[in-house]
Amino acid sequence: MPIIKVTSLPFENQDSAAWPVQVCEHFARSTEIPLKHVSVAWQLLPGGHYAYAGVKAQYQPQDSHPIIAEIMLPDFYALDRVEKIINAAVEAISFASRMPKTNIFVQVNRARSGAVYDEGRIVRW
């Protein structure tokens, strides 16, 4: 499982279509989680549809309007492993987007055994 959902404004003069694959590959290498278990969705908000400190932006700034990432993980990972996963996600997002790590916000949601439906069944670990 990790499922990484990234939300940002569009990037001026950059083609972001390859970024989900780049994040998957970089993240999988960094965490040693098999690539077949990593999913990334990158959603671009329309310009002007993200306010930070009461200010709108048309394109993704380097120093405000942080990229927002949410990682869904199974709840069996220890806290030190979760921290490594967070850092790997930040590295991967920064690598793909060329965004400073200081302008990336990440939150982890931990999925419990029996609370996930995947591949046609309720998953238990």
Model confidence pLDDT, tens digit, residues 23-59? 999 999 999 999 999 999 999 999 999 999 999 999 9
What's residue 40's pLDDT?
Answer: 98
What's residue 104's pLDDT?
Answer: 98
Dihedrals φ, ψ of 9, to 5°? Answer: -75, 165
Bridge-based pairing state of the strands 104-111 and 67-74: parallel
Number of domains in the chain: 1
Residue 30 CB contacts under 8 Å (≥ 6 apart), including other chains:
88, 91, 92
Query: pLDDT category, 22, cuts 50, 70, 90?
Result: very high
Task: Provide the CA 87 distance to its chain's centre, in angstroms.
Answer: 11
CB atoms < 10 A from the CB of 8, how many?
24
Model confidence pLDDT, tens digit, residues 50-86? 999 999 999 999 999 999 999 999 999 999 999 999 9
Radius of gyration of the chain, Cα coordinates, nearest whole angstrom = 15
What's residue 63's pLDDT?
Answer: 97
Domain range enclosing 35: 3-123
What's residue 59's pLDDT?
Answer: 98
CB atoms < 10 A from the CB of 111, how many?
17
CATH code of the domain containing 109: 3.30.429.10
CA distance 116 to 1: 10
